[in-house]
Structure 1
Amino acid sequence: MLGTLAATTASAQDAARIQSKVLGDDNQPVLVQFNAEGKKALQGLSGDQVLRQQLGLGNADQMVQRTAETDQLGFTHQKFAQYYQGIRVEHADYTVHSKAGAVESISGDFEKIQGLNTTPSLSVAVALDRAVAHVGARKYMWQTNDADAASFRPTGELVVVRDARVENGPLVLAWKFNIYAAAPISRAYVYVDARTGAVVLQDNIIKHAAATGTFATAYSGTRTIADGTTSGGYFLREGTTRGLGIETYNCRKSNSYTSAVDFIDADNNWTAAEYNNTNFDNVAGDAHVGAQATYDYWKNVHGRNSYDNAGAKIKSYVHFDDVPGGAGYENAYWDGVRMTYGDGATRFRPLTALDVCGHEIGHAVCEKTANLTYANESGAMNEGLSDIWGASIEAYAVASLGFTSGGVKAKSTWLIGEEIDKQQAALRSMSDPKSLGQPAYYKGQYWAATTSSPSNANDQGGVHTNSGVLNHWYYILAVGKSGTNEGGGVYSVTGVGIDAAAKITFRMESVYMTASTTYAQARTYAIQAATDLYGAGSAQVTAVTNAWFAVGVGAAAGGGTTPPTSTTYCTIKGTSQSYEWIDLVSLGSISRTSSKDAGYYNGTALSTSIAAGSSQTISFSAGFTSTAYTEYWKVYIDYNKNGVFTDAGELVVSGSSSSAGTLTGTFTVPTTARSGSTVLRVLMSDNSATSSCGTFSYGEAEDYTVNITGGAALTGGIASLTGGDSTPLGNELARTLEIYPNPATDVVRMVLPGNAEATSVVVTDVRGARVTNVAFANGTLQISSLAKGMYTLSVSDGQKVFHQRFVKQ
């Protein structure tokens, strides 16, 4: 198959300031790290200015700061929410990471939007009817007799969201509703297309542990509890010793929270004789001490004050039944406000287990940090993170708080829900996921198909199944493991211990992850988190990387056993980089920009997966000192994994160009290429005769790892590469007025085309009337005195007049 070489634009100047850049599936950056030159260039810029520059924001794009926190390592993390024409872009958030006033990196998810119509044609009332019909409950919380019922009536918010009905679906304007159903119980954000009325996404707020129920119930023996006094004796309400308090209530086998009552004991000696009864009243103590232990874990291990880091009160309700007086509710959940526990029935014992409590409050932590969308890969990691916290909290409580096993089964750190499960060993196993029907390898055995229509029927795209990959990664990272994975890769991981593993994982979740994070991005973020905590090249970074390789996500550290250690590749190196070098290689999740690498770069620690029989596009570009010379490009893949690139079909791209822009080459992976990890070699030389081995005069070579899936042996042909030149980025001036932030509260900053100076500035309101109570100086418009609303800004450079709308909030 013939390849194509297309020259696009790239900025050599920007590339020289970037240490590394990782692109997501949409070709937008998910992590950008800056070198010393880049940090210097960004000095003095505000966080939103950094994002505007680095993400190439247009006039309709705004980044609005949500939070700014400084962590124990001295990093300040400014988190921004993306808006388009003043409308929130759901799940699109970006963070600027700084230290000592210098921007170290940026990370997150940015949606590139162009020409989206932001005027709804569907009223909010009609959209709500569509959302309620989609949920299809018998009764909703606002229809109950609870005192706070009215507070649950949904109000619509206009947002931009990705249509989840198709993979990588389009961005649409949608009405967002928080729908809380009372019978059967559910709570979710439901998104209704504001033009067609179709439900394009459901993101569950109540995150059940399984289709038939949630995680475990644990009896922890006799525990010392913190509670409070009342007129009738003592009740399960701790004051403000732990944040704003820990409280536990009795739903009395009903589905009403407002009619729930306190458990009261006369002498504060809650004995088994009193509470180990047919009503399972002793589980109230499990819920209470479980919440206390969970709070203590987050506070003492991670320095976090409750799930929201602001001391939020933790409320637990036991003896809940969605059908009052029914057979027993086989579930437990966090609904965004409180913990709810059923008493179980045929499958489960009462669901107040310690690891269940830690798991469910883990969802609350995720909601306040990464806020991972509860579907497909992001939903699987939402569940996996909660399992990780459930296991970690159980281990912490046993080791540090003296918890014992008081129920039918003993506590086991790496089993989830082991004490509540009546039918099998546990709900899930982190040490051996496949023993309970979960995958231990990314898209391997037991992997549940992701879906464009996530629902409870398909477990929201396998969230409780595919979480096994993250669970097993965490187990391997903490404990260590050696073996051969399902891709045929030999791995050996030295465990870092559960404490270090937890700190790395929480930094990955709280600092770097965003709502739409994928498994591949989680690997990038985990490695970065370990680097932040323990340093580049540390044993912890190596363990994190190799643990991901073990579960089929990316390559081993430094190439490791990818390819296997028995395969040795010939050396290759360019002698001189005085005039030209490789400054970009991008294929799938591999995306690296660089300056000179002394003739060779070993990038085998970076990897991507390519399927046998698939068509692939690789991007690359040359950096030049001054003159752009004709360079000869060759891309090789060792399809049969025999250590050489000279077999038929292994030269996959070949061609020449004198472009400084980004070039692309296309090739088809042979259907008989061998499955597993192998080497991708990219070569750029001024000599067309340069081969895949040895030294050559001018240019560079770089090696990376590709993981071939669905293959067997070797066949295939050569793809050639042709193409042309294009204008390098930076030579073309913007032709529109840029204003930011938008929406704004106090000031609006503006940049005219070509950085021209403004000669006049006029602000008009929605009636077209000129506004006089604003002041303009040095590119900044003071708007603090304006009333809230939309305005039009007209700016002249003396020759042309430019118009932009902005929102004062």
Structure 2
Amino acid sequence: MQKNYPAVALLVLGSAMFAPAQAQNGVQVKQRITAADGQHEMISFAEGKGYKAADADKMFREQLGLLKDETLVRRQTEKDELGFVNERYQQYYKGYKVENGDYLLHARQGEVQLINGRLERGMERVNTTPALSEAQALARAISFVGAKKYMWQDDQSFAPKGELVIVRNELGKGATAGKPTLAYKFNIYAQAPISRAFIYVDARSGDVVFKNDIIKHTAATGTFATAYSGSRSIADDYTGTTYRLREVTRGLGIETYNCKKSNSYTAAVDFTDADNSWTEYNNANFDNVAGDAHFGAQATYDYWKNVHGRNSYDNAGAKIKSYVHFDDAPGGAGYENAYWDGTRMTYGDGATRFRPLTSLDVCAHEIGHAVCEKTANLVYSNESGAMNEGFSDIWGAAVESYAVSNLGATSGGVKAKDTWLIGEEIDKQQAALRSMSNPNSQGQPAYYKGTYWATGTADNGGVHTNSGVLNYWFYLISQGKTGTNEKGLSFSVAALGITNAAKIAFRTESVYLTSSSNYAAARTGSIQAAKDLFGAGSTQEQAVTNAWYAVGVGAAYSGGGTTPPPTTGTYCASKGSNVSYEWIDYVKLGSIARTSSKDAGYYDGTATSTSIAAGSSQTISFSAGFASTAYTEYWKVYIDYNQDGDFTDSGELVVSGSSSSSGTLSGTFTVPATAKSGLTRLRVLMSDASATTSCNSYSYGETEDYSVNITGGAAIAAASAGSSANQIIGKEEGRGLELYPNPASDVVRISLPGGAKVASVKVVDLRGASVGGARYNDNGTLNVSGLAKGVYMLSISDGQKTFHTRFVKQ
């Protein structure tokens, strides 16, 4: 694949590199939490030293390093019970919406307290000119789904319309695999077999690059079990001649319909009764499950309203419609599923695996998907999809607990249920679909990437399996537990009760998560949610943190059960995925001196070390190798001064800058007197993207790790104190390509490293086209008198290595 950049990118030489601001115009960053891939997961500001909410665009540009053609557009604003104004911003590039690019702003009294979220990176490589028409792309989407019948064949309101967006190619097809691409987005609703998903078709190649399910199944062959709730008092209405399962006392209403074992919603009819006792519905046809669906929707609405102050799933009173006795193959053996399709609830009657799927926990679970859709909108695949399922299980458990505690004997008697089992009353083959208190018992992981963790693409990346981690975390903070996890680490989690636990979980989902959030982001968001609700250092914050530690996500709260300090072998991954065009070819610091070619994006040189003294001034040198064109590369050098296993503390980014030269660059830094004595990690990172930080899987470039032994430092160091990153300051004498004078009018002198002889010189303009008018002489001079005035790139070879540099003809 050809790598292209705007011409202006080639004009940068030795300029300052983007680095996250610690203080800009009086702004002071209080805390910056970085995700494993280097993105800024959360940034908080010191009291009274943040941005005004009205300056959101300026803030995002300064703190996140947005591209010129990149914007964040506010799409949602809500004020919560704590006085926070929470705003969701949608990422756009050149006017195109960037799917799953979300950032959140949280302000009080007009001042931003913190921001968090996740953006799509690599926008500058997206070709924003479509090559396919909408009709051609739709044909590809329909072919991908491959259904026998689609909903719009009966109801044109479901006819899909294409929207051009930018989305990451997650299906691994074509030249854009793993990268953002321009795509047509279609909402494809299939009737036989049932499915509904957003299908994304590459607007240039026609490949399907991403699929996000709208219908969230609860299991591969059947979702949730039914649990019956005894004799219930249900709200309905009276037409003057008959009673129907419709009511208008909750939001815009709750309605329950009978599909009569068909797959048609338009042909569905009301359940009716003459005397409003509904006793005759307890029959062989299981018509009584209509009451379960209706009551389940009512109880779920009541839970959200009374516990979280939320008016239906969208917080705007949305009507909740339920359809029971659904069968995707009329006259078949029975439909073993229940789902929310973005519009309504649908319940099958079950068959060999399940009884009718209208249990209370299934109702609450499926409506929980609707809540997620209106808040975090977690993408239904991999970790975000597992959390989408996990949050729905949390709401299934929470609504069950609420109904048993608050809708008991005085209102008809909800029979006791096992809060921590999902689908226990309708599963014919095993104890339950899932266990939140013991995920392993039903084949789910209780530890992040531990036993039973699902890998691969099945079940959208294991969404119904890997949800066990979030489920167990919620169980721990609700019930409390002291024990040892499967890695042999002891933990202790205080019991918060299910109501407080649910409030923390919902604030995490609704306020701090974005569509592409992973488990690490959930940890960060839930800790912040606990602080918001109960205060920093509270029992609740400690319990939330320790529960994540118990399930293998992050360290324990300081003071008991903490993870031991990492060795130089336990740092986050940093790797370039493509070294076809550029790589690190030289690093020197003290006795570390390595010349190399490409190392597949990462080189582990931690067996090589050098000593540096606390308080001393050091110079590190490095250079880039290029296959042909010299691109602007962004360099960052990190040292973990306090040996806490990361490079995010103040002063640990020691050198930062950019250059399009293949010559040797250098940067000088001072080792803080507070640096901790002993062996620690040195990381040298070169990337073509300015936003790349210490923990990234990035596109073009390379990372190299080494060890440094700090002498004369502190026995114990807190967060490193030091200046911000030093810029790259120049070339190491005798090693880099030298070109002078530059600019020049007639003759340019060329000097290669080590006095090597020039074998060839190529001159190209900023478009990459070769130009005439320049002639190299064997005496080391290049006659440029015949060139027009302007900027050119020179490629100079010694027969083994090619150097690239910018040249200005005046």
TM-score of the pair, normalised by structure 2: 0.70
Q: Where does 1:532-551 land on structure 2 (aligned, <5 Å)?
A: 532-551=532-551
TM superposition shift of 1:223: 0.7
The change in CA–CA distance for 1:13 and 1:324 in structure 2 (over 3 A counts) is closer
- Residue 266 of structure 1 aligns with an amino acid whose one-letter code is A
- Report the Cα distance in structure 1 between the residues aligned to 2:137 and 2:41, rounded to whole angstroms: 33
TM superposition shift of 1:29: 1.4
Q: Where does 1:757-768 land on structure 2 (aligned, <5 Å)?
A: none
Partner of 1:359: 365
TM superposition shift of 1:276: 1.3
- Report the Cα distance in structure 1 between the residues aligned to 2:81 and 2:420, rounded to whole angstroms: 29
TM superposition shift of 1:488: 2.3
The change in CA–CA distance for 1:607 and 1:277 in structure 2 (over 3 A counts) is farther
- Residue 500 of structure 2 aligns with an amino acid whose one-letter code is A
- Report the Cα distance in structure 1 between the residues aligned to 2:432 and 2:359, rounded to whole angstroms: 12
Partner of 2:503: 503
Partner of 2:237: 228
- Residue 270 of structure 2 aligns with an amino acid whose one-letter code is D
1:402 aligns with 2:408: yes
- Report the Cα distance in structure 1 between the residues aligned to 2:499 and 2:147, rounded to whole angstroms: 43
1:324 aligns with 2:316: no
Partner of 2:782: none
Partner of 1:98: 107
Give CA deviations for 1:645-686 in whole Å, capped at 9, x if unaligned.
97xxx544499xxxxx9999999xxxxxxxxxxxx99999xx
- Report the Cα distance in structure 2 between the residues aligned to 1:18 and 1:212, rounded to whole angstroms: 49
- Residue 329 of structure 2 aligns with an amino acid whose one-letter code is V
- Report the Cα distance in structure 2 between the residues aligned to 1:188 and 1:77, rounded to whole angstroms: 28
Partner of 2:465: 465
Give CA deviations for 1:175-228 in whole Å, capped at 9, x if unaligned.
000000000000000000111111111100000000111112111111111100
Q: Is the 8 A contact 1:442 1:553 kept in 2?
A: yes
- Residue 711 of structure 2 aligns with an amino acid whose one-letter code is A
The change in CA–CA distance for 1:682 and 1:390 in structure 2 (over 3 A counts) is farther
Q: Where does 1:216-365 land on structure 2 (aligned, <5 Å)?
A: 216-239=225-248, 241-271=249-279, 274-365=280-371
Q: Is the 8 A contact 1:7 1:664 kept in 2?
A: no
- Report the Cα distance in structure 2 between the residues aligned to 1:654 and 1:352, rounded to whole angstroms: 55
Secondary structure at 1:346 match in 2: coil
Partner of 1:389: 395
Q: Is the 8 A contact 1:307 1:364 kept in 2?
A: yes
Q: Where does 1:428-439 land on structure 2 (aligned, <5 Å)?
A: 428-439=434-445
Tell me, which stretches of 5 or more residues in structure 2 are unaligned? Answer: 1-14, 568-613, 619-639, 657-666, 685-689, 697-704, 732-810
Q: Which has the larger radius of gyration?
A: 2
- Report the Cα distance in structure 1 between the residues aligned to 2:641 and 2:237, rounded to whole angstroms: 68
Partner of 1:28: 39
1:631 aligns with 2:673: no
- Report the Cα distance in structure 1 between the residues aligned to 2:161 and 2:691, rounded to whole angstroms: 47
TM superposition shift of 1:51: 2.0
Q: Is the 8 A contact 1:81 1:93 kept in 2?
A: yes
Secondary structure at 2:466 match in 1: helix
1:169 aligns with 2:191: no
Secondary structure at 1:36 match in 2: coil
- Report the Cα distance in structure 1 between the residues aligned to 2:642 and 2:274, rounded to whole angstroms: 73
Secondary structure at 1:558 match in 2: coil
Partner of 1:70: 79
TM superposition shift of 1:61: 1.1
The change in CA–CA distance for 1:726 and 1:360 in structure 2 (over 3 A counts) is farther
- 138, 153, 177: which one pairs with 2:148? 138
Give CA deviations for 1:463-500 in whole Å, capped at 9, x if unaligned.
00000000000000110111111222110101111011
Q: Is the 8 A contact 2:361 2:396 kept in 1?
A: yes
TM superposition shift of 1:70: 0.6
Partner of 1:160: 166
Aligned Cα root-mean-square deviation (Å): 4.0
Partner of 1:79: 88
- Residue 384 of structure 1 aligns with an amino acid whose one-letter code is G
Partner of 1:555: 555
Give CA deviations for 1:494-536 in whole Å, capped at 9, x if unaligned.
1111011100110110011011001111101111111111111
The change in CA–CA distance for 1:629 and 1:652 in structure 2 (over 3 A counts) is closer
Tell me, which stretches of 5 or more residues in structure 1 are unaligned? Answer: 1-5, 452-457, 568-575, 581-598, 609-616, 638-644, 656-660, 668-679, 702-721, 728-809
Q: Is the 8 A contact 1:209 1:331 kept in 2?
A: yes
- Report the Cα distance in structure 2 between the residues aligned to 1:506 and 1:391, rounded to whole angstroms: 13
The change in CA–CA distance for 1:364 and 1:102 in structure 2 (over 3 A counts) is same
Partner of 1:415: 421
TM superposition shift of 1:268: 0.6
The change in CA–CA distance for 1:115 and 1:294 in structure 2 (over 3 A counts) is same
Q: Where does 1:533-612 land on structure 2 (aligned, <5 Å)?
A: 533-558=533-558, 560-563=560-563
Q: Is the 8 A contact 1:477 1:497 kept in 2?
A: yes
Secondary structure at 1:465 match in 2: coil
- Report the Cα distance in structure 2 between the residues aligned to 1:663 and 1:341, rounded to whole angstroms: 47
- Report the Cα distance in structure 2 between the residues aligned to 1:404 and 1:346, rounded to whole angstroms: 36
Stretches of 4+ moved more than 6 A in 1?
403-409, 599-604, 633-637, 661-667, 680-684
Partner of 1:738: none
TM superposition shift of 1:57: 2.1
Partner of 1:689: 711
- Report the Cα distance in structure 2 between the residues aligned to 1:140 and 1:602, rounded to whole angstroms: 58
1:123 aligns with 2:133: yes
Q: Is the 8 A contact 2:642 2:675 kept in 1?
A: no
Give CA deviations for 1:92-134 in whole Å, capped at 9, x if unaligned.
1111110011110111112232142211001111111110111
- Report the Cα distance in structure 1 between the residues aligned to 2:552 and 2:137, rounded to whole angstroms: 42
1:183 aligns with 2:204: no
- Report the Cα distance in structure 1 between the residues aligned to 2:683 and 2:163, rounded to whole angstroms: 51
- Report the Cα distance in structure 1 between the residues aligned to 2:337 and 2:322, rounded to whole angstroms: 14
Partner of 1:613: none
TM-score of the pair, normalised by structure 1: 0.70
TM superposition shift of 1:412: 0.6
Secondary structure at 1:182 match in 2: strand
- Report the Cα distance in structure 1 between the residues aligned to 2:647 and 2:256, rounded to whole angstroms: 48
- Residue 632 of structure 1 aligns with an amino acid whose one-letter code is V
- Report the Cα distance in structure 2 between the residues aligned to 1:224 and 1:682, rounded to whole angstroms: 70
The change in CA–CA distance for 1:665 and 1:521 in structure 2 (over 3 A counts) is closer
- Report the Cα distance in structure 2 between the residues aligned to 1:347 and 1:406, rounded to whole angstroms: 30
1:210 aligns with 2:219: yes
The change in CA–CA distance for 1:235 and 1:487 in structure 2 (over 3 A counts) is same
TM superposition shift of 1:38: 3.2
Secondary structure at 1:27 match in 2: coil
Secondary structure at 2:102 match in 1: strand
- 603, 611, 621: which one pairs with 2:653? 621
Q: Where does 1:652-731 land on structure 2 (aligned, <5 Å)?
A: 652-653=681-682, 689-690=711-712, 693=715, 700=721, 725=729
- Report the Cα distance in structure 2 between the residues aligned to 1:551 and 1:372, rounded to whole angstroms: 21
Partner of 1:484: 484
- Report the Cα distance in structure 1 between the residues aligned to 2:691 and 2:268, rounded to whole angstroms: 64
The change in CA–CA distance for 1:102 and 1:662 in structure 2 (over 3 A counts) is closer
The change in CA–CA distance for 1:494 and 1:600 in structure 2 (over 3 A counts) is farther
TM superposition shift of 1:56: 2.2
- Residue 316 of structure 1 aligns with an amino acid whose one-letter code is S
User: Which stretch shows the higher mean deviation, 485-494 or 244-253?
Assistant: 485-494
TM superposition shift of 1:136: 0.7
User: Which stretch shows the higher mean deviation, 282-291 or 230-239?
Assistant: 230-239
TM superposition shift of 1:563: 3.3
Partner of 1:521: 521
Partner of 2:29: 18
Partner of 2:742: none
The number of residues matched between the two structures is 619
- Residue 279 of structure 1 aligns with an amino acid whose one-letter code is N
- Residue 201 of structure 2 aligns with an amino acid whose one-letter code is V
